[in-house]
Every structure is written in structure tokens, then in C-alpha cells.
A and B are shown apart, each in its own frame.
Chain A
Amino acid sequence: MAIESEYVIETQDLVKIYKTGKVKAVDGLNLKIKKGEIYALIGANGSGKTTSLNMISGALFPTSGNIRVLGYNVPKHRRIISNYIGIAPQDYSIFYDLSLEENVRFFSRIYGMTKAEFEPRFNELLNILRLEEKRKALAKNLSGGMKRRTSIACALIHNPRIVFFDEATVGIDPVLRTFFWKYFHSLKEDGITLVITSHVMDEAERADRIGLMRGGKLIAEGTPSELRNKHNADSIEEIFIKLSEGVIIDE
């Protein structure tokens, strides 16, 4: 059952080998993420970020290793924690044949929310995500960035304590992106933990901590300034290019 810990997410020697292709997508991942942290998982394409998030959220079962989320063992108790996490997947994963509002309402029902709980929260999210004008629009007719924002609304509707954003800001224009990051920090103030993956390095610099993955492993971790100092680099981008391409082996 629930174990008390200062970490809301902990993984121990997490391994995932897909049966199709026999790829070791995640290879001994050890993550520790504190409550209220904004944690950025970065790494080259195919380094195992999405696979890790899917395992931590309980949708994908690990080949070996342990996961604890909010003190509960995952996937064993994934249904308990599922009420307290929200995930916006890399592909939008929304219903294209439903309207924006119907999509979010659908997820609110899945989380057992009543109509009275849904309405104010939905209006709040529409405002934050700047989607008011599109609430009746069919999801398939939304622009890419609006689909992404709809997906984010579905992930946040039930006030989760941990939010996973897989490439959350891809397709979002710079103005909105800056605005979103303000919102992310306000979520953090409320004690909500955010795990994001990103390929935009200046975005990663806004996170509290960064984990850099390569070949399914964490090869560097720390606050942006720690990483810059340790690797004697001016930017995270520089570190990313060095480390993720294997120029430097950092253990």
C-alpha cells in the first residue's frame, strides 16, 4: 500500500523491453521526483521518454523494476492513483469526432465528476488555455496547437496532483507558450507536480530539474545551473548535444 516518502514519483531499475522489435526502450531508469517540482525529461528521439511516462502513469506495464507514484505501487495500484494524475500524451489522443467540450466532459465523467463540478472547472480551463471561442468546434477541425490545448484540458479537468505533459508545448505559439509556463508555475505553487518532456531546450531551462535520457537511461540530472556548471556549458542545448549524441559519457 501507500508508503510515506518525500517523493511523489520514484522508479527503481525500471526496464521496458517491447516484445515487438525487442528494443530495450527503457534500461534501468531511476527517477525521484518531489512534490511540487517541475521536472523536464529530455533526450533524443527514441531515448525512452514516452515509454517511461506511460509506465509511470500505469498504462504500460514494465518488464522489470519498481514504480511508486504518490506512495502507491504502480501498476498494482494504478487505479487508485489514476484519479490523481493527468496525462497529455504526445499524440493528442482526443476524440476527433467529438467537440472540444464533449471531449473534456467525457474525461470529467471518466473521473467521476458531477456536472456541477465540471462546469466551473471547464470554464476556468477554457480561459487559461484560450479556447473559449472553440468550445463547440469539432476536435478534428481544430488547429494543431488547439488540439494540443484540448488534450491538456482533458488532462487537467479533474485537478490532478501530478501532470504528465509529453511534448506539451509542441505546436503552441511562443506567446501562448510563455503564458503556459506562467500557468505551470502557478500549478507548482499549488503543490502540483509536473513532469514534462521537451525538445525545446530553453524551455527545459525553466524547469526545476532536468533529467537527460539516452538509450533508456538517465545519463545526467540536476537543476539547470547545476548541469551548466558541471558540464562547463553555456546552455542546456550544448549539454544536450554533447551528451545525447554520446560525445561525452557521463556516469
Chain B
Amino acid sequence: MSKKNVDLKPKNLNFSLRRTMAIAFRTMNQFRRDRRTIALMSIVPIVIMLIFGLAFSGEVRNVPVIIDNQDVLYTNPFPPISLHLGPNITDNLVADDGVDVTFGNYDQGIDSVELGDVYAAVLIPANFSELVVRMLTGENVTIQLYVYIDATKPTIRASVMSTIYDALDSAVGDRGIKLVQILAHDGAEFTGLDVGIPSVIAFVIIFLLVIVGTITVTREKIQGTQDRLYSTPLRSSERLLGYVIGLLLIAILMISLTLIFGVLVFGVKVHGNVFLLIFAALIFGIAHVFLAVFLSNFAQNELQAIQFAPLTALPSMALGGMLVPIVSLPVWLQPLSYVVPLTYGINLFEGIMLKGWGFKELWVDFTVVAGMCLLFFILAVVTVRNRMRD
């Protein structure tokens, strides 16, 4: 019996950042050579931005608003006219399914708009009927109705305003009554495209990362390199983390390009903290890299892998509030919106870019996205292969 076989030193057993980075560099290297994919990845966000930013229009329903009707009955001695118009206006609003009315106090309504719970707070002042009567009797008065409104979604804003106009018109007639709009979130007004960009960023992250991620991992299977690595010291956790780091750097490149184009070409302003925005994009990106690695378990070739992108992106688009605001979806569909990651991505990016929100206002969405990260990470770790299929 020879002793020669037992002189092996067990080595390379612990987790190694070096091996992890070898995988990460390898993942990035394939893109360095693949100029066409890089070009496509930078053009796709711009095309999506153009399509959705410029062309979108949709029907908006059941937008939550708060109404404070302080108007009181006014009886004019001479000529004898008695009017109480407030309830007529509110009845019309309640009857219209463009908005979903809650009665409340105007000041609290303003807070709710700022918090994003409702889109508008409407105040019908106490002397509204009185002023209308005085105008009818020939006096020169200005009649005003106050609307404190979230202007970050132009489609919703336009729809809410036209609903209020209609309600006013059918209650009072066209008497030149002024609707005073006070814009929430420090009064910033936005163009359609401005509003589109945050959704587009969230959408692009999902769409491209799922495509690029699943294809990268699936390509390893086809080349046989994945199987080959099973008989090396590489750990499956290192492989997983390597993919994530490599893909994440690609994602950062892609997100930066989208942001730069948004800012330089389309004139988007970022009202909130840029670093918070980058942080949000990062954790949202990580979640989807994990998702992609997990999904690639179910693909044996590139053709199958490529199906996962529309499979995740299209439902997100429909349910995540990108095309149609969630409040306008059928009630039975709305719960599904809260399981779609895009919903929270849009909340984060819109909150930071358009509303200037910080962590204080967005902690729920941050928590949900972090939770999704963890969930997809666990799914990816539990299903990551460490040996050949049998």
C-alpha cells in the first residue's frame, strides 16, 4: 500500500471572492465583445421612452378625491332667491365614476394628497351659493373653487379636473366660475414625458435584466461550461453571486444611459436625492437579477429563456400602474397590482424623481422591494444547481 494518495492538501474550500469575481468578469466580458447587444440595450430604453412618454393616453376611473363642502344655504331678501348649490355639485361628483369621493376636511385632504393617498382635495367655500346669487343679481364678483391636486400624473390630473368642471357645469351652468388649482408637491408641473420616465426606468430594468440574465445563464448550459464547472472548486453560491455582480454592472450601465438620455434629451428633472434614486434602482435591479437567475432554471435553451422577459414584463406593464393607474383597474384586478414588482418600482422612481420624496415617504416601497430581493434570492439559492441534471 502506498501512502502517496493521502498527501493532498484540502484547499480552495472556503467561499472565495476571487472565484466570484472570475464569474462576474466573465459575465461582463461577453458583453464587451457583443457591441450589438450593448447598442440594443441603450436604444431599447429610448424607444420605450418615446412610445410611452409621448403616445400614452388612457381612460382614468375611480380616482380617489376628498371633498370639503362648506357651502351653506343662501337666501337673498330682494329679489327673493334661495340657493344651496354645494350638494348639487357633490351629488354630481359622487355619481361620476371618474372619481371616487370621500367627504372630509380640506386641510386633511391636502395632507392626504401630499402623502399620495388621494389625488385631489376639493374645497367648496362657505359663501359659494351667496356669491352665485350676487352674481345673478348683477354684481361683479369672482367665484372660486379650490382644487389641491397632484399634478405628477397629467392624465389623472386632466381627468379629475374635467370631472369637476362637468359637475360644476351641470349644477350651476357656465357662469365663469374659476377653478383654482393648487399643485401638490411644491407645485411642480410635469410634461407627459417627464411622468413617463420613472415608469420606463422601472420597466426597462425588469425587461432587459430578465432577458439578459436568463440568456446569460442559459448560454452557460448550452456551451456545457456550467456542467464543466461542477467538477471544479467553484461553489454554487459563488457562481450565483458572480452572475449577480456581473449583471448588475450591466444594469448600472443601462440605468445610467436611460437617466442620462432622460435628462439630456428629454429634459427630465430629478427632484429628489440622486443617490437615493441610484440606490432604489440598484435594489430593484438586484431583485430582478435574482429573479432572472431563478427563472433560468426553467429554460433549457435560449429560445425558452427569451420567453421569460415578456412573460414577466407584460403582466407588470398591465398591472403595475404603468399604462393605467392602479385605481382605474377593475376592483377584482387591483389586489394583483400589489404582487407585481413594477408597482413598487414605479412608486419609488416616481416618488424620488417627480415628487422629491425621500426614504421617510417611501419606506414601505423600499421595504417591499427589499423583501422581493430576499424572496427572489432565496428562490435562486434554493434552486441553483450544483451538479449535472439526471
Contacts and interface: CB of A to CB of B under 8 A. Distances in A.
Interface of A: 2-6, 8, 16, 18-20, 35, 54, 57-61, 63, 70-72, 75, 78-85, 87, 89, 91-98, 102, 106-107, 109-112, 138, 191
A80 B390 contact: no
Contacts of B178: none
Interface stretch (B133-141, B224-232, B348-356, B360-368): B224-232
B269 interface: no
Given A82-B231, A93-B225, A60 B8 contact: no
10 contacts: A8-B5, A18-B390, A54-B227, A58-B387, A75-B387, A80-B10, A82-B231, A82-B233, A84-B8, A95-B225
A191 B29 CA distance: 37
Contacts of A3: 6
A207 B230 CA distance: 28
B230 A58 contact: yes
B2 interface: yes
Contacts of B16: 112
The main secondary structure of chain A at its interface with chain B is loop
A95 B223 CA distance: 7
Give chain B's interface residue range (CB within 8 Å of chain A).
Answer: 35 or more
Contact of A112 (B30, B225, B233): B233
B265 interface: no
A54 to B, nearest CB: 6
Nearest to A16: B390
A89 B5 contact: no
Given A35-B4, A71-B6, A93-B227, A98 B26 contact: yes
Given A59-B387, A97-B30, A110-B232, 19 more contacts: A2-B5, A3-B6, A4-B5, A5-B5, A35-B4, A54-B231, A59-B227, A59-B231, A71-B5, A83-B12, A87-B228, A87-B231, A91-B224, A97-B29, A98-B30, A102-B26, A109-B22, A111-B12, A112-B19
A96 B219 CA distance: 10
B372 to A, nearest CB: 31
B26 A19 contact: no
Contact of A97 (B5, B13, B34, B224): B34
A107 B4 CA distance: 26
